[in-house]
Amino acid sequence: MMFARRALFQSHVNRIASIRRHPAITSRDFSSTQLPNGITLAYDLHEPPKGSTAKAQDAPPIVFIHGLFGSKKNNRSMSRVLARELSRPVYAIDTRNHGDSSHDPRHDYTALAEDVELFLQEHKLEKSTLIGHSMGAKTAMTIALRHKVPIGSLISIDNAPVDAALKSDFGKYVQGMKRIEEAKCKRQSDADAILATYEESLPIRQFLLTNLVRDPETGTQKFRIPIKYLAAALDNMADFPFKDPDEARYNGPTLMVRGTKSRYVADEMLPTIGRFFPKFQLADIEAGHWVVSEKPEEFRKAAVDILSQERD
């Protein structure tokens, strides 16, 4: 079974690698923006290939928002692909309490939405396409429904605008990460052995362990994300700030991408989605919750198809 999971993970890596190799795409070392609310957001900017037409250079940007325990690195390969194929700049951001962004005790969808709105305003990004996965999907939907900044279109990946309990796995991940820090591991392999008692999937463990960094003073492995804040925020991540579709609606182009093996966007949620987002289209991809990493080519096609229609 373990060999099968390793083979599956390697196939995912190979598929992503096969669409990321393109020398014309330019990416910069990550930058950061100090927001008026005191939060600093880190981001990677993936620019269109050199030689793009003036029309392409003026194209509205894409902003990619990762999920819980993720970072901008998760979306690096797909961001490069979208920048190339759509000739649009792609900003892959770290939300507060993730990646290289600053930490804050408050972690809910209103706060996350406000951060991204301020980021868009600071960079003067208008009519952006927001793409979000999981936590990032609910953040993007919240932004669209708040109407504080002009949004061109929305792509939500495997989450719905409803209050719905997180899978119990997320609570287990927090327990495992706390145990790793308590054990003061010096090798990532030791941290992985601890986490394996909470999560048997190698790809998911490797995803979570991307948050490990070595303390230069003690040599021990620690998490760069504030586990205490995120553990306290798990209930917030299950909620959605808008309850009544008659009071908030986004009428722009919307693509709802769901993994058919996931339970986060069930059929019974589709009517509610349609009331919040009347112009939504549905793309079913045979995958679990981690749609982009599991089926990158299928996601790429769905995203490029709808965004190309938007440009026509």
Give the CA angle between residues 133, 42, 101 to the nearest 5°: 85
Could you tell me if 307 and 276 are in contact, meaning their C-beta atoms sit under 8 angstroms apart? Answer: no
Token representation of residue 175: 């327990």
- Residue 289 falls in the annotated catalytic set: yes
Let me know if 134 is a catalytic residue.
Answer: yes
Q: Of 71, 128, 134, 293, which one is the catalytic site residue?
A: 134
Q: What is the CA radius of gyration of the chain?
A: 19
CA distances (Å), origin 242, targets 23, 150, 248, 264? 43, 19, 7, 17
Q: Which two tokens stand for residue 242?
A: 């808008």
Distance CA 64, CA 88 (A): 12
At 309, list the tokens: 């229609």
Q: Which of 46, 98, 107, 289 is catalytic?
A: 289
The phi, psi pair for 68, rounded to 5°, reads -60, 135
Give the Cα separation of 265 and 276 in Å (integer): 14
Contact 233, 109 (CB under 8 A): no
Q: Which residues does the annotation mark as catalytic?
A: 134, 289
